[in-house]
Amino acid sequence: MKYSDLAEKTAAELQAMLKEKKTELFTLKIKQKMMQLTNTGELRDAKKDIARINTALTAAK
């Protein structure tokens, strides 16, 4: 996900994406605790996506 893709979206779309990414991060953390997560890089990617969405939301205001 790139910031340029997010800059074109509305605040409502960004809020929906943020909620979706936060639930994804939650499930990834649960999988990691249960030793079911094989690619731990997914956690890092999810956190970075959340940060990009929050940046786009702040810029949209």
DSSP, res 23: H
CATH number of the structural domain spanning residue 55: 1.10.287
Instruction: Tell me how long the chain is.
Output: 61
Q: Which structural domain, as residue segments, surrounds residue 33? A: 3-60
pLDDT single digits (tens) 35-48: 999 999 999 999 99
56/43 Cα distance (integer angstroms): 20
Provide the whole-model pTM: 0.89
Task: Specify the number of domains making up the chain.
Answer: 1
32/5 Cα distance (integer angstroms): 29
pLDDT score for 60: 81
